[in-house]
Structure 1
Amino acid sequence: MSDSNTTDFTNPSTFILLGIPGLEAAHVWISIPFCTIYIIAMLGNFTILLIVKMESSLHVPMYYFLCMLAVADLVLSTSTLPKMLSIFWFNSREIDFSACLTQMYLIHCVSVMESGIFVAMALDRYVAICDPLRHSTILTSPVVAKMGLAIVLRGGMLVLPYPFLVRRWPYCRTNIIPHTYCEHMAIANLACADIRVSSYYGLFLAFFLSSLDVFFIALSYTQILRAIFSIPTKDTRLKTFGTCGSHLCVILGSYIPALFSFLTHRFGHNVPLHFHILKANMYLLVPPMLNPIIYGVRTKQIRDRLLRLFIIKGPKVFS
């Protein structure tokens, strides 16, 4: 029989999420920008989906991929923010073991999917600019649907080992996670087992897969830039490049914080823990908020359709 000072966590029923250790007194204040970010992300991404659904001229591959990105952002935000806010507002730190694994799976799965969506969007821009006459015959609706399915299956299958590995490990030390959500390595570090397989697999996904996706995106944009600079008139060059600007902004806004968060988490051992966690939160929360704003501001078709909604509704209010 075990003594009173030891607890067996071999099969923990719950984990305890601490939030942001060291900043507990500021949790309520931190929740204000987090909640604002969540509301903007929800409104922005639902608006993108609504506009694309209502505007038949937007039923083309570029906006189908944008809708996929909006759905992924909604899933990513909703799988993390509500629990974070319950920690900040109500000190509700417990999370069921299965719920924790589900949250972990969704976070990493959707992140891999979003990387695949960026590759698909780069391919769409490449065909649209480098081979515009064949765009509608190359990227047909069935082809786009198959690409979407491949992106979803790739994310789902590649991240599947995470919950299986985490579930089979013994937890004999503690069930306390010093984080605001169930991140893979944060859980793995609690295990009383050799986690090298999981750590190496995480490194493989982060570096090899991301590097592969970035390589294809860079290859596409190299060809796109060559095609743009071969256009004789400056105005046409700027207009053509403008169609890619929003996509490039979204890519940079997603990959750079993700890479920085990953590197500081694994190699920044002298960085304060609360900085690690805040950076990890920004990586998950800010891109879903910025993506619809970037596309809404920089994409003329979406901007015009949104303005028409308000212009049409405006006179009815005062009639």
Structure 2
Amino acid sequence: MTTIAFIGLGIMGAPMAGHLIDAGHDVVGFNRSRPAVDALVERGGRAASCVADAVHEAEVVITMVPDSPDVEEVVLSPEGVYASAKPGALHIDCSTIRPDVARKVAAAGVKLGVRVVDAPVSGGEAGAKEATLSIMVGGEAEDVEAARPYLDVVGATVVHVGPAGAGQTVKAANQLVVAGNIQLLAEALVFLEAHGVDTEAALAVLGGGLAGSTVLNRKAAAMRAREFTPGFRVDLHHKDLGIATDAAREAGVAIPIGAHVAQLMEALRATGHGELDHSALLLLVEQLSGRDL
């Protein structure tokens, strides 16, 4: 049994922490809103009153917070993870943040005797609940191996992709692919409906061919039903696409389709749909097609 501090018990973090409890670990949770902590206690975990309280006895610290500034605050502040953690503690950051911030955080950890890996995840709420996440891990090889037993509890695919920050770079690429898939699925659905085709039958055959994808399998039914309860919010995917487009610009890489989908996600957010699931890109396609009446 390992004592694990889990910081950030949202849509993704809560089920991940729950799996670690089920695996027999002592999980101490902290979240900005108290109900999430209470739910963790009901699952068998322990509550912390602040970040420092959560991490001071922990051998492993896992963070799952929304954005780069949140990670910097939680990790680098005077009352944060690195100021409070035991020497030699392992920090696994599962947040999705800028690669340069991941490298900054890792460098700060080294100076303070904390081992750090960036381990962003893909798979959405369903993947978190089913413990089937795909996890792209950046960091020193020995630190990644130390993190693997915990990542294997919450993920089905755990791959070391390079040094510090590499996990976040791969996650940015992942978010480009996912957004592009959702946008094209949305366009295909509106196209099929406009022609009066049975979309359930059409998607069944599309899913069995080269057009098949995890996005289609997980998102199509809810999109057909216009059910956009968030598994991954538009606000967060908008943030992630900003990371991807900024990183592409820095590297001098052209991502014309990715940049276009990023603009569409921004437009969807600007129309007040930021709290919906990212599959709500369908609403924007309908609007652009004049079929939202």
The structure whose Rg is larger is 1
TM score, norm. by length of structure 1: 0.29
Larger RCO: Structure 1 or Structure 2 (Cα < 8 Å, ≥ 6 residues apart)?
A: 1
Identify, as 1 or 2, the structure richer in helix. 1
The TM-score with structure 2 as length reference comes to 0.31
The structure where strand makes up a greater share of residues is: 2
